[in-house]
Amino acid sequence: MVLAAHPIAAKAGAAVLRKGGNAVDAAVATSLMLGVVEPAFSGIGGGGFALLFKSNGESLALDYRETAPLGSSASMFADHSDKNRVGPLAIATPGVLAGHARLLEEHGTMKFADLARSAVNAADSGVRSESLSLRMLRDKESGPFNKISHFEASSNVFKRRNRFPVLAKTLVALAGSGPSAFYHGSIPERAARYLKDMGGVLSEEDFEKYSPKERKPVTGDFLGYGLVSMPPPSAGGTLLIHGLQVAEELDRKRSAREEAGRLPATAAVLGSMLREKWRFGDPEYTDVPVASFLSKTNAKKRAEEIRSREVMTLRESTTDVGSTSHFCVVDRNGNTVASTETIECYFGSGVTIPELGVIMNDEMHDFDVVPGRPNSVAPLKRPASSMTPSIVLKDGSPFLVLGGAGSERIISSVFQVVGNVIEGEMSLSDAVSSPRIHPSGETLEVEGGFGRGTLSELRRSGFKLDLRQKWDPYFGGVHAIMVDPRSGRTIGAADPRRMGSAAFD
């Protein structure tokens, strides 16, 4: 089974499984297709994380997050302008294709050329399907439309056509030479030359030096279930496990089926855990206290603070946006992949390399603009992330494979879905579609769908509420697969807040 943020992408991955490919093969095909059908969210101009749990019990995390250019510096965005999210200086070295190459070399069974074929065909012939990306561009007052309008090459690609022939040619070239050709030779030379002429600093050397990194997943447990998730530079995995362990100490299960009883504690846990995101950064540059976050002693301490109301203030407000794309795969042999990829803000930097047809990320936006902090800019550094590809284990085998899109709402939404399934004993579909909350500054963002009693209880607990509509895209998009531990049967749930879909092999 494949779950992805667009039905065409899910079908591309499922077709690979039917041909005998494994979960990694299907994940690569799904990723490439997502870059064609939903280019506002992810693509080969971006980066991501992949979490694997293999049928032999081995788990691993691959970090192909973008890296800051060699020409970057800690003070380059100190003026707090929008240069870190729009234009050439916002672009970090893309990692998606390097990630694909590593995944296929070490864990795949099929050739990149075969896996790219469906994406090539879609890019060349045109995408005749509704998408969130198209909806954004139809709204001429929207931020994404205005961003694309700043750049002629991007306007030509995205506003006047429903097909991407230049991107198709680039994918064909990569199919012939392999994805590593994106980092050596004429492709990076053309990209670097174009960006330099625009005032950017991304160079050929940045492409040549790029390499994905295999990391050890962070692990923990929650109410008897095992937790496996993404380590730093992701803050998501560590904070997810920490938050769930705090929730277990609070014994929310007593009121798990009573929404009003459980939600105030959920809000307090989310506020407590998300306040710690500033501590995260690239582990090669920053000493992230992962062991402390994952300790049961720390979880007990946080739970006591919440009980005593010493931690009622939610957190500092942020100015994040809700881009990114998550997909997950489970194959017939029990291999699983949970992967989250992004070009950061909607349509990334807004810059498309005209000779390649590739829209580039604005991942420099994920760094702290203030020098001297854990997530400040440095050459070749990876920015911290909220992406939280995760796997929940039951008796040592995959039970839930999930992750989400939506910036920091990724962490809070994945947390709530896991809690809904394990504590609330909900069906997977209900767990994903149920209303959510998210702390933002002194305000608790509350999605439509909660009962009046629940809202009253939140107010009595001291929270200032900002009420939003039901199934608001602000609260991200969680896609999840549940595996029946007895039969091995898979059940998928795509988030109604996004155009997600399941496809079966």
Phi, psi of 152 (to 5 degrees): -60, -45
Residues 6+ apart with CB under 8 A from 88: 195, 198, 199, 200, 201, 202, 349, 351
Cα separations in angstroms, 272 against 306, 344, 390, 414:
8, 25, 20, 16
Residues 6+ apart with CB under 8 A from 195: 88, 91, 201, 202, 351, 353, 360
Which pair of structure tokens corresponds to residue 111? 């050739």
Strand partners, 358: 353
DSSP assignment of 229-282 equals E--TTBSHHHHHHHHHHHHHHHTGGGGTT-HHHHHHHHHHHHHHHHTTGGG---
The set of catalytic residues is 324
Distance from C-alpha of 123 to C-alpha of 80, rounded to nearest angstrom: 37
Distance from C-alpha of 27 to C-alpha of 209, rounded to nearest angstrom: 25
Q: Name the one residue in this structure whose structure tokens are 């330099």.
A: 196
Which pair of structure tokens corresponds to residue 72? 């970057």
Are the C-beta atoms of 454 and 444 separated by less than 8 Å?
no
